[in-house]
Structure 1
Amino acid sequence: MEDIGLLLIRLVIGLTFVGHGAQKLFGWFGGPGLTGTGEWLESIGIKPGGKIWAIVAGTFELVGGILFLIGFWIPVGASLIGLIMLDAILTVHGPNGFWAVNNGFEYNLVLIAIVVGIAFTGPGGYVLFK
């Protein structure tokens, strides 16, 4: 049952981050793509090079999500996801306080705790590669 629980966590978190990365990099799932993400990053003060940081953020989310999803190189995938969530706290959500209802960092912190926890416990028995 533990393996099923870990798989469920990895599927939800991994697929979510694959989707977020695809939104930023390719404009899939209603996302803004590289140009839109880069422009938004520059609008919040990440200048110059908003498009470069959009590539970095999207790649961290996409690759981190894939690794987390398949249970391969979990520490690397968790680190990529954790770093992008820490960046979201520092650049966007932190000034708004803790609670998500105020656009705070509550959700980002929960995601960091999940990926770090899985990195420490391991991916479970249901993985694509061993």
Structure 2
Amino acid sequence: MDAGLLLLRIALAALLLGHAGQKSLGWFRGSGLEGTASMFHNLGFRPARPMVVAASLSETAGAALVLLGAATPLGAAVVVGTMTVAAAANADKGLWAHHGGYEVALVYALIGAALGFTGPGAYSVDALLGQARPAAWVGAGAVALGLAAAAPVLLRRRALLRRTGAQG
């Protein structure tokens, strides 16, 4: 089980770091800061450039915590929150990624949530600190914190889209 959790943490962290790199640095055929800012503006996330920076930093921080298995519930909350916002941005396109939907963000958020409940396993900083297997309420708290952190961003976006009459 511990090796499986390590593999899951490495995979999620690598994908999140790539996701952040696409946004901020243009890596992996991403749009980079300016291109992503234009997209964020069109999606109703404003001011767009600071929102891109915040999203990239959140994805990077969540990835680092998950990868190290350090403060795993906090890392899970960051992943859940960031990916909830990402999923909402694509909700109008439906679930499936091949139509531009929120499938990928949903999967990342669910993996983050699962790690909040299971903990990082034995091969982690948390294990060194005696925190490798959290109580169920800790996982629930991580998910709740992530959703609560996403709410102001999504409410602000919704208000802006209503004000401008845009879709999203």
Q: TM-score, normalised by structure 1?
A: 0.86
**8 A contact 2:12–2:63 mirrored in 1:** yes
- Counterpart among 52, 64, 67 of residue 54 in structure 1: 52
How far is 1:64 from its partner? 0.6
Higher relative contact order (CA 8 A, sep 6+): 1
Partner of 2:112: 115
- Counterpart among 91, 95, 111 of residue 94 in structure 1: 91
Q: Residues 110 and 51 (structure 1 numbering): CA distance in 2 closer, same or farther, change over 3 Å? A: same
What is the aligned residue count? 127
Unaligned runs of 5+ in 1: none
Q: TM-score, normalised by structure 2?
A: 0.68
Partner of 2:20: 21
Give the distance between the partners of 2:101 and 2:31, measured in 1 at CA: 22
How far is 1:108 from its partner? 2.1
**8 A contact 2:33–2:49 mirrored in 1:** yes
**8 A contact 1:72–1:127 mirrored in 2:** yes
| RMSD (Å) for aligned C-alpha atoms | 1.7
Segments of 4+ moved more than 6 angstroms: none
Partner of 1:78: 76
The range that moved more, 32-41 or 72-81, is 32-41
The range that moved more, 56-65 or 14-23, is 14-23
**8 A contact 1:75–1:119 mirrored in 2:** yes
Looking at CA atoms only, which structure, 1 or 2, has the larger radius of gyration?
2
Give the distance between the partners of 1:17 and 1:95, measured in 2 at CA: 23
Q: Which amino acid is the alignment partner of residue 71 of structure 2? A: W
Give the distance between the partners of 1:96 and 1:109, measured in 2 at CA: 13
